[in-house]
């Protein structure tokens, strides 16, 4: 386990490094940053002045080194629009996105695991086909459109739930459903596949032979084995939700990381964009690391070895 963990950690560090390089380069090579910052009517002298001001005339490697060192010490630079530092902005918005993604994940798991289980238990019946059909349909719906439909029906027409803001948990319900909906199909399919495989296993027959009640067989003996890959995928999905929060938070005007990213991108507030990219990517790296370790720990064959 230790050996596995060490290897996995090393990979995570390497990926984190690569991600930081990409986050840095993405906004440096994809255009003339100084020109963009100075605005379209700026004179060449003005652009040069801005270039010097932001240190954009120095070699890329030096710029990257400096940026990385500063970022590692928690200084992600300053926003071009807000008075706060990038780090402060991100920290300020992070709780909302974390609540949103957590609720989204909980909703996705609450939908996908029971549905996947029932589909597996009633394989090739109408229940199974309905669940699979919903999964296919769910994967085909654009997330922003689904979010708008939720707003239209539950917010505007029925008036059950607020459609924007972050005042109470009720404000998070619709965005979380919209976000969770898109992780549900893939998690459901995986649960179903896992359950189908596990239910055919000899140890399930053993459990029945012991006279255990059906729910004990299903939950303790079957689900535990079927759900390990689902757990691993769920944490990856959590990372995807952070990324997908751009769309959902924008639709619901929910003041989180995603909304901040969209604002910053629209206003070409590049230090903020870069900071968010770095934080979200590193968070994803961390999540995949945790998920791999968790998965290994759930599987005693890896844990012991």
Partner 1 sequence: MKPAPTASTSAEATSPEAVPVASSSRRRSRWLSNPGLVVSALVLVTIALLAAFAPWIVPHDPYAQALDARMLPPAFVDPERADPAHLLGTDNLGRDYLSRLIYGARISLLIGFFTMLVSGTIGTALGIAAGYFGGRTDSVVSFLITTRLSLPVVMVALAVVAVLGGSLEVVVLVLGLLLWDRFAVVMRSATMQVRGREYVTAARAIGCSVPRILWSEVLPNVVSGLVVIASYEMAQAILLEAALSFLGLGVQPPLPSWGLMVSEAKELMLFEPWMIMLPGAAICILVLAINLLGDGIRDATAPEGRA
Partner 2 sequence: MSGTADLLLDVRGLEVDIPVAGGTLHAVRGISLAARRGETLCIVGESGCGKSLTSLALMGLLPPSAKRRAERLSFAGEDLLSASPRRLRALRGDRMAMVFQDPMTCLNPSLTIGDQLTETFLRHGKGNTRAARDRAVTLLERVGIAAAANRLGQYPHQLSGGLRQRVVIAMALMCGPDLVLADEPTTALDATIQLGILQLLAELQREMHMALVLVTHDLGIVARIADRVAVMYAGQVVEEGTVGDVFGAPRHPYTRGLMDCIPQPGRTVPGTRLGTIPGMVPSLVGELRGCSFRGRCPYAMPACAEPIALREGPDGHSWRCVLPAEALARAA
Interface with partner 2 by CB under 8 A: which range of 40-48, 217-225, 255-263, 277-285? Answer: 217-225
Report the residue number, 176 or 199, with the smaller CB distance to partner 2.
199
Closest CA to 280 of 90, 83, 116, 117: 90
By the rule CB under 8 A, 259 interacts with partner 1: no
Q: Residue 254 and residue 233: Cα distance in Å, rounded?
A: 26
Q: Residue 179 and residue 240: Cα distance in Å, rounded?
A: 10
**Which of 144, 165, 203, 214: binder of partner 1 (CB under 8 A)?**
144
Give me the DSSP letters along 244-287: HHHHHHHHHT--SHHHHHHHHHHTT-HHHHHHHHHHHHHHHHHH
By the rule CB under 8 A, 80 interacts with partner 1: no
Q: Residue 228 and residue 223: Cα distance in Å, rounded?
A: 9
Compute the least distance from the CB of residue 241 to partner 2, in Å: 28
Report the residue number, 217 or 271, with the smaller CB distance to partner 1.
271
Compute the least distance from the CB of residue 299 to partner 2, in Å: 7
By the rule CB under 8 A, 1 interacts with partner 2: no
For residue 193, the tally of other CB atoms under 10 A from its CB is: 16
Show Cβ contacts of residue 97 under 8 Å, excluding neighbours closer than 6 positions: 242, 245, 249, 256, 257, 258
**Which of 5, 27, 127, 161: binder of partner 1 (CB under 8 A)?**
27
Answer whether 133's CB lies under 8 Å from 126's CB.
Answer: no
By the rule CB under 8 A, 231 interacts with partner 2: no
The residues with which 85 forms a beta bridge, in sequence order, are 78
By the rule CB under 8 A, 22 interacts with partner 1: yes
Residues in the site for partner 1, rule: CB under 8 A? Answer: 11, 14-16, 18-19, 22, 26-27, 30-31, 36, 136-137, 139-145, 148-149, 151-152, 156, 239, 242-244, 246-247, 250, 258, 261-262, 265-266, 268, 273, 276-277, 280-281, 284-285, 288
Residues that bind partner 2 (CB under 8 A): 201-203, 205-213, 216, 220-221, 224-225, 228, 298-301, 304
């Amino acid at each position: 386990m230790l050996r596995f963990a060490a290897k996995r950690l090393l990979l995570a560090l390497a990926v984190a490094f690569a991600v930081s390089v990409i986050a840095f380069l993405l906004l440096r090579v994809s255009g003339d940053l100084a020109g963009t910052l100075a605005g379209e009517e700026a004179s060449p002298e003005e652009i040069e002045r801005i270039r010097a001001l932001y240190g954009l005339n120095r070699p890329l490697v030096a710029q990257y080194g400096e940026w990385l060192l500063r970022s590692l010490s928690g200084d992600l630079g300053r926003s071009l629009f807000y008075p706060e530092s990038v780090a402060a902005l991100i920290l300020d918005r992070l709780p909302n996105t974390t609540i949103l993604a957590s609720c989204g994940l909980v909703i996705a798991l609450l939908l996908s695991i029971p549905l996947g289980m029932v589909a597996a238990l009633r394989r090739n019946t109408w229940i199974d086909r309905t669940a699979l059909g919903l999964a296919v349909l769910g994967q085909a719906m654009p997330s922003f459109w689904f979010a708008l439909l939720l707003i239209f029906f539950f917010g505007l027409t029925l008036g059950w739930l607020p459609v924007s803001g972050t005042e109470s948990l009720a404000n998070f319900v619709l965005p979380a459903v919209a976000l969770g909906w898109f992780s549900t199909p893939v998690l459901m399919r995986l649960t179903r596949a896992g359950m189908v495989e596990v239910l055919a296993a000899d140890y399930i027959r053993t459990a029945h032979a012991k006279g255990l009640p059906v729910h004990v067989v299903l939950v303790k003996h079957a689900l535990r084995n079927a759900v390990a890959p689902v757990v691993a995928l769920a944490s990856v999905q959590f990372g995807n939700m952070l990324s997908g929060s751009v769309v959902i938070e924008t639709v619901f005007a929910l003041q989180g990381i995603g909304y901040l990213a969209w604002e910053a991108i629209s206003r070409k507030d590049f230090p903020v964009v870069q900071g968010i990219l770095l934080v979200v990517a590193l968070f994803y790296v961390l999540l995949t690391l945790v998920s791999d370790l968790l998965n290994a720990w759930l599987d005693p064959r890896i844990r012991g070895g």
